[in-house]
Structure 1
Amino acid sequence: MSTQQTIDVEYRGGMSVAALIEGRAIVTDQPVKDGGQDAAPSPFDLFLAALATCAGLYAQRFCESRSLSTEGLGLRVTCTYADKGFHVEAMDFALTLPEGFPEKYRDALLRAVDLCTVKKHIVTPPRFSVRIAE
């Protein structure tokens, strides 16, 4: 049997929109050039941040599950955009390893980061439907 999660969207004035999830509000806005106040990340920024933080979490969990230090562990995600339109063509995830990180775990760490749940949803997308609520 499937389970469900509901996300309600609340309009906050101007270009600010919030997603209400399990009692928490995730607020978004648009840059000034797009009519917003730039008071919060845009929805697309949150999308990219979800990919980055998910990958970072998988790296952290990998290290902690093996009692490896996470001091100095870092991740930088570089997005390359298409020349025309607003589309990310490539994302490069570059991990910085803690000092003394064991060589034997390097490939396994990369495989672990590649398992990020957010990325999996892009590779195998869900079905989308848009409708007028009754």
Structure 2
Amino acid sequence: MGRYQQDVMVGQHMLIADEPLSVGGSDAGPAPFDLLMSALGACTSMTLRMYAERKGLALTRISVALSHEKIDLDGSPRDRINRSITLDGDLSPEQRQRLLEIANKCPIHRALSQPLLIASTLVESGFTPTLSVE
């Protein structure tokens, strides 16, 4: 196992997270920020698919591309995720605009777009996975 490599248990699924070679990892899996962006991309696509199916829209394919950058906002450093959504299908301009509005309502987008509270505690126990998501 690499220096930074982590086994991530999500229910019955196991993932590997790691850092790229450029920062001392072994690049055995996505970096944590890449996993975060993957969650946003997957949630966006799933939310759009559910909406399109409910409304009977002719949406045939969804592609979500994400990138991350550090920006300066009023003198404060901030993280910005750029999300580019490609919608294939016979959709009107109004339907496309509505789908963009729906994309902004996906649960991960909502969580990341507001102050997020994280409660951390130390737990004493026997062997547990390095990371576990419940």
> What TM bracket, shorter-length normalisation?
0.7 to 0.9
More strand by share: 2
> What displacement does 1:117 show?
0.8
Aligned ranges 1:1-134 → 2 under 5 Å: 12-82=1-71, 89-134=79-124
- Report which structure shows greater RCO (CA 8 Å, sep ≥6): 2
Kept in 1: contact 2:64–2:85 (CA 8 A)? yes
Q: May I ask how many residue pairs the two structures share in their alignment?
A: 120
Q: Report the TM-score, using the length of structure 2 for normalisation.
A: 0.73
Q: Is the 8 A contact 1:79 1:88 kept in 2?
A: no
Helix, strand or coil for the counterpart of 2:60? coil
Extract unaligned runs of 5+ from structure 2: 125-134
Q: Secondary structure at the match of 2:88?
A: coil
Distance 2:64 2:46 in 1: 10
Tell me by how many angstroms 1:31 deviates: 0.8
Q: Please report the TM-score for the alignment, with normalisation by the length of structure 1.
A: 0.73
**RMSD of the alignment, in Å?**
2.4
Distance 2:82 2:104 in 1: 12
Structure 1 position 88, deviation (Å): 5.8
What whole-Å deviation, never above 9, does each CA across 1:97-120 have from its counterpart, x for those lacking one? 224213332232111100111121
Could you list the runs of 5+ residues in structure 1 that have no partner in the other structure?
1-11
